[in-house]
């Protein structure tokens, strides 16, 4: 029996679809019961903001469904998509009192929300949660370093292949036939802003992957990876 099966039927964590990826997976059933009292849930429609750059950072959030993007807005209005947040990701633990980035739902999204101070006090009482938070921060730092390498050294084709490989690892699915599917709820413009490319370049590289039979579009928001080996080789810069 899993620890979540020990929770009451009406406990919101009982049927959580990201229970093995979220920070709270480190908590036992008793701690999860206590955790319920620390916050609530919110739902955002696609395009709806979670918070804006410069807003007071008084809450933290855990994504349980959907996709959120973090944007940095420069003084002249230019935008950089810093990262995409997927189910199981945590956001809002800022070093300062204000949010450094803006957050917006890419698709219909559901999140758990906690007051920052209350969450911090809860983590102090449950070392397992504090340790999980540390591991998540270390992982995010490693991802940030990898993105620096990507933006500094990889070609446009390698950047897009790296992105598709990462999204598939995070939220990709496989059909009964074994087909590897990559959901892409974000726009081509969002992908371009994340990869440091133009929208036209991203569209061109998608076309090259398609004509090379590495991917096949299933719909506007779904891509199938036809050749995972060539995709990985391209992502790591070793493709012929």
CA dist., res. 76 & res. 130, Å (int) = 38
- Give per-residue pLDDT as tens, 156-211: 999 999 999 999 998 988 776 788 999 999 999 999 999 999 999 999 999 999 99
Q: Domains of the chain: which residue ranges? A: 3-139, 154-235
- Give per-residue pLDDT as tens, 94-125: 878 899 999 999 999 999 898 988 888 888 88
Q: Angle, to 10 degrees, between the axis of helix 156-171 and the axis of helix 127-153?
A: 160
CA dist., res. 163 & res. 182, Å (int) = 10
- Give per-residue pLDDT as tens, 31-89: 766 666 667 889 999 999 999 999 999 999 999 999 999 999 888 888 899 999 999 89
Q: Strands 173-174, 90-91: parallel, antiparallel or unpaired by DSSP?
A: unpaired
User: Does this chain's domain 3-139 share its CATH topology with 154-235?
Assistant: no
CATH-assigned architecture of domain 154-235: Orthogonal Bundle (1.10)
Q: Does domain 3-139 have CATH number 3.40.50.10790?
A: no
């Amino acid at each position: 029996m899993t620890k979540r099966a020990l929770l009451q039927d009406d406990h919101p964590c009982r049927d959580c679809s990201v229970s093995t990826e979220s920070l709270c997976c480190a908590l036992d059933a008793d701690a999860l019961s206590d955790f319920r009292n620390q916050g609530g849930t919110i739902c955002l429609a696609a395009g709806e903001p979670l918070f804006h750059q410069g807003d007071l950072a008084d809450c933290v959030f855990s994504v349980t469904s959907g996709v959120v993007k973090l944007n940095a807005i420069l003084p002249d209005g230019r935008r950089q998509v810093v990262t995409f947040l997927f189910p199981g990701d945590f956001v809002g633990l800022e070093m300062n009192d204000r949010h450094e980035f803006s957050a917006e739902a890419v698709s219909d999204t559901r999140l758990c929300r906690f007051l920052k101070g209350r969450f911090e006090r809860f983590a102090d009482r449950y070392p397992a949660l504090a340790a999980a938070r540390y591991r998540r921060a270390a992982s995010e730092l490693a991802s940030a370093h990898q993105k620096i390498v990507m933006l500094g050294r990889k070609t446009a084709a390698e950047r897009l292949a790296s992105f598709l490989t990462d999204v598939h690892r995070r939220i990709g699915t496989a059909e009964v036939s074994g087909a590897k599917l990559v959901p892409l709820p974000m726009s081509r413009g969002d992908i371009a802003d994340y990869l440091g490319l133009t929208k036209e370049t991203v569209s061109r590289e998608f076309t090259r992957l398609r004509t090379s039979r590495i991917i096949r579009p299933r719909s506007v928001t779904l891509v199938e990876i036809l050749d995972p080996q060539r995709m990985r080789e391209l992502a790591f810069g070793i493709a012929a």
